[in-house]
Amino acid sequence: MLGVVSLVLVILAAGVSSAAADPLADDLATCRDRQADVQARANACENLLKADKVVGKDKAIALSARGNTLINKRDYDHAIETLTIALDLDPDNVIALNLRGLAYERKGQDDLAMADYNLALEKRPTYGVPYNNRGVIHARRGAVQSAVDDFSLSIKYTPKFLLGWTNRARARTLLKDFDGAIADFAEAEKIDPAAPQIAGNRCITYGMMRQFDRAFADCNRLIEKQPKNVFVINNRADVSMMKGDFDAALKDYNTVIQINPNNVRAHSGRGQIYERRKELAQARADYRAAAYSLTKFDYTEVAHARAIAQERLAALMPQRPGAAPGRRVALVIGNGAYKNAHALPNPPRDAKLIASVLRDLGFQSVMDTNDLTRDKFFQTLKAFAEEAEKADWAVVYYAGHGFEIGGVNYLVPVDAKLTADKDAETEAVALEQVIAAVGAARKLRLVVLDACRDNPFAPAMQRTLSLKLVDKGFSNIEPGAGFMVVYAAKHGETAMDGDGSANSPFATALAREIKQPRIEIRKLFDIIRDDVWAATRHGQQPFTYGSPPGREDFYFAAGK
């Protein structure tokens, strides 16, 4: 991926009197020191903030260090809030501006990121890092020459900045300036010959030059050291595609998907192989997974892979002139019989209620299933995706355990163990896989999650990643156009179970209100929200993200 960086914070510190007498004087000196160890500096700045012993520009420096830590934890909202306070204290702190731009970029808010990068460069035109970060956005948007220009300025003002060299090499590769790219990689090697960005990216450059032995040598050497580096494994697969060795490419794409089932590049590449082999159902499934996978933002390679998937999916959609108008299909899942966490009595009961109501409303197909293992979960989603291809409406209702790690929402199969946070990718099911399953429907694509219960794995789950682990519920998302995702409870809240043998408040309200005639779907979920809010005495508030297509009204019960 084209790299973005935060780097360490500059010193814009005002003098502090009586430093020698202050027990926090060492922390202050370390917090101000650009050359200090990154973690030691972050700890020192945090100590100062907790003691409330800094003001003005010194406090802005400390807050910038905290913002940098929050970015590394992928807690972008709190990073932006923290860095904004830093900039209120010191509007000329260009490090804080660059960091806030990076946080905005990681959230997918490129325009806000560009505004911060531009302001940082306006205040300090010789600051190399924002040029690099701005160049990354240019490259992602397809303005490759503008990206090269910014990377060149980054190199000019920060010549020992390795990412400036490797990013320009990659942009030059896109422009087919292979000699320039190889020269840039050589300069990067002078800075750090062992940097993985060099071999991992030069692999693609050599591949495009059709120097396949050199390409595979670079990729293989890095994969031996980092066998789970999906970026480089994808690169090697892409080189195999360039060479025409589709078996080798397929093997690598499969490896990536085993490591990360939601990888856009691997699904897009594998879809192209299956399309070449005339296995069109599998090709469409992979293209759907790539086209509708949720990411905060797309790096250049991911954006390219997603665009290919969207184009090919549209081309491969089967023609259905004889399909019945208004065909509506649903998948209803109730996971309650958990093997390694406390069981939930309500989800199977809630799922049975919702499935019955949907059948009564005339849905032509309702797949009703409970207590799915992870393998069965994926098999069910694949089967439902094929149904969605033939439908105008595709609706998924899920009840069971769910949680979020590092901005990724997961639904929990009944066989999940989840002893460590890193296990989520291989033992749980990412929400984006569910969204992909409804993606082929012609009109309405709706996912309803009655799953914001306490994460039962959180107390014992080992933290191995520098990611935020949410103990309650899901994080908010921004689904693409034409999708609705409805949560039974908003971010950080816990959805309530019913009393005794009763259904949950959300399932009860949903089953009651969708039977009411002539209530348009946008209004319908507003009513359900109010019903649940009242029934739980303000303890639970459903939340809706996204919307269906704007030029048509949608009714569960049309009425007379």
Spatial CB neighbours of 160, under 8 Å, sequence gap ≥ 6? 191
Same domain, 250 and 219: yes
Spatial CB neighbours of 158, under 8 Å, sequence gap ≥ 6? 128, 129, 164
- The last residue of one of the domains, among 288, 316, 344, is 316
Look up the pTM and report it: 0.64
Same domain, 333 and 289: no
Three-state secondary structure call for residue 44: helix
Residues 288-322: tens digit of each pLDDT: 888 877 665 667 788 888 889 888 887 887 644 44
User: For position 282, which CATH number holds?
Assistant: 1.25.40.10
- Apex 196 CA angle, 191 and 197, nearest 5: 75
Same domain, 372 and 487: yes
Residues 172-199: tens digit of each pLDDT: 999 999 999 999 999 999 999 999 999 9
Same domain, 306 and 181: no
Lowest mean pLDDT among 223-232, 295-304, 457-466, 501-510: 457-466
In a domain, 234, yes or no: yes
- The last residue of one of the domains, among 282, 316, 350, is 316
Q: Residue 90: is its pLDDT beyond 90? A: yes
HSE toward the beta carbon, residue 454, CA cutoff 13 A: 10
- Note the Cα 500 to chain centre separation in Å: 38
Same domain, 392 and 531: yes
- Note the Cα 108 to chain centre separation in Å: 10
Helix axis angle for 128-140 and 300-316, nearest 10°, is 10
> For residues 530 and 527, what is the distance between their CA atoms, to the nearest angstrom?
5
Contact between 234 and 226 (Cβ < 8 Å): no
Contact between 9 and 74 (Cβ < 8 Å): no
Residues 522-552: tens digit of each pLDDT: 899 999 999 998 888 888 889 888 888 767 8
In a domain, 322, yes or no: no
User: For position 402, which CATH number holds?
Assistant: 3.40.50.1460
Same domain, 303 and 410: no
Q: Which residues pair with 394 in a beta bridge?
A: 329, 445
Whole-angstrom CA distances from 251 to 40, 199, 226, 241 are: 43, 21, 17, 11
Same domain, 360 and 261: no
Structurally, the chain folds into a number of domains equal to 3
In a domain, 5, yes or no: no
Q: How confident is the model at residue 557 (pLDDT cuts 50, 70, 90)?
A: confident
Residues in the chain: 560
In a domain, 1, yes or no: no
Residues 451-497: tens digit of each pLDDT: 855 667 777 777 765 444 444 456 555 555 578 899 888 765 666 76
Q: Which residues pair with 543 in a beta bridge?
A: 487
- Which range marks the domain in which residue 460 is found? 328-546
In a domain, 558, yes or no: no
Residue 115 identity (one-letter amino acid): A
Nearest-CA neighbor of 12 among 91, 114, 116, 101? 91
In a domain, 321, yes or no: no
> For residues 271 and 253, what is the distance between their CA atoms, to the nearest angstrom?
10
In a domain, 403, yes or no: yes
- The last residue of one of the domains, among 122, 154, 186, is 186
Whole-angstrom CA distances from 498 to 338, 350, 494, 540 are: 18, 9, 13, 13
HSE toward the beta carbon, residue 29, CA cutoff 13 A: 9
Same domain, 210 and 164: no
Residue 131 identity (one-letter amino acid): Y
- In sign, the C-alpha dihedral spanning 269, 275, 281, 282 is negative
Contact between 301 and 1 (Cβ < 8 Å): yes
Same domain, 413 and 271: no
In a domain, 191, yes or no: no
Same domain, 294 and 380: no
Same domain, 240 and 212: yes
Same domain, 413 and 491: yes
User: What is the overall mean pLDDT for the chain?
Assistant: 86
Q: Which two tokens stand for residue 441?
A: 């429907």
